Amino acid sequence: MILKSFKNAMEKRPLPGFLSMYPAPGIIERIGPDWDWCWIDTQHGEWGIDNAIQGVRACNLIGIFSLVRVPGKDPGTIAKILDTACHAIMVPMVENKEQAEAIVDAARFAPLGHRSYGGRRLIDLFGRAYSHADNPQPLIVCQIESPEAVAQANAIASTPGVDALFFGPDDMALASGMPMDQPRSEDCFKAEMATVATAARRHGKIAGGVFSLAGLRQAVGLGYHMVVCSGDVPLLAQNSHTLSRSCRATLGNDKPHEGGGIASLY
């Protein structure tokens, strides 16, 4: 099993990963080798509980680590995703130690927790001993996404079984009354990011987050090693936009076709 090596690798150096929101294993296969790990998003992305396993398989095929974000804290969902044999699971909106303990309880086998045994893919890949305590287990990543969670970061990080804290700036901004369609400075949440990184380091845990190129050096300086640098959506949209503008400039046609289509929701 190579589950434990994900944490070991991040402890040695920062690992850049990318976010997958569209349920297309082919995209992971094509661009995944450029990255060290892939975040498969079943919370806000279009991946679902039933097809996330295909994203995990794609990561296995190309030899990168897989992290799946679940939609919430439901123990059944957590267990179902863990049965995909992903390398890590990320749970959103963790705000206190009690919630972190409940997540660990759902994600770990007895005597540490109450996760049910019998994952079909896990047995097929690793045999019936996959649940043994001396075998590496998937990382548990708690998202810190609110002022309340930042205030409790040290307590969350101290929870046995939690492996990483992942800072989420968007919900933090929303809770702070910031407009979601306006840019934020790289230093906007520097103090909160430092608090999360310090809590993780104090308890021997990993700190993670999403960072632009401009903010990446600052984040690594604070101690972040689980770093998301891009995703299928911006890579697709930005490159499409750039190429279409160049194409239209060459053709002398700078306006897109005014055809039908769904009205913009956002």
241 is catalytic: no
pLDDT in tens, 115-160: 999 999 999 999 999 999 888 889 999 999 999 999 999 999 999 9
Distance CA 99, CA 156 (A): 8
CB hemisphere CA count around 128 (13 angstroms):
0
User: Which residues are CB-neighbours of 18 under 8 A, at least 6 positions away?
Assistant: 31, 32, 34, 35, 38, 39, 228, 229, 230, 231, 232, 235
Beta bridge partners of 141: 90, 164
- Report pTM: 0.92
CB hemisphere CA count around 50 (13 angstroms):
0
Does position 2 have pLDDT exceeding 50, yes or no? no
pLDDT in tens, 230-239: 999 999 999 9
Contact 157, 202 (CB under 8 A): yes
Average pLDDT, the chain: 93
Among 204, 185, 203, 152, residue whose Cα is nearest residue 10: 204
Q: Which of 44, 114, 132, 241 is catalytic?
A: 44
Domain topology for 3-251: TIM Barrel (3.20.20)
Helix orientation angle between 213-222 and 190-202, rounded to the nearest 10 degrees: 40
142: Cα separation from own chain's centroid? 10
- According to DSSP H, which parts of 88-222 are helical? 97-107, 120-126, 147-151, 153-157, 169-175, 190-202, 213-222
**Which helix (DSSP H) or strand (DSSP E) does residue 130 occupy?**
none
pLDDT in tens, 41-84: 999 999 999 999 999 999 999 999 999 999 999 999 999 999 99
Give the per-residue pLDDT at 265: 43
Give the per-residue pLDDT at 261: 55
Name residue, tokens 């001396």: 134
Say whether 207 sits in a helix, a strand or coil: strand
Burial (CB count <10 Å: 0-12, 13-18, 19+), residue 259: exposed
Residue ranges per structural domain of the chain: 3-251
Which two structure tokens, joined as six digits, stand for 211?
Answer: 């960072």
pLDDT in tens, 170-185: 999 898 888 888 888 7
Distance CA 43, CA 62 (A): 24
Does position 1 have pLDDT exceeding 60, yes or no? no
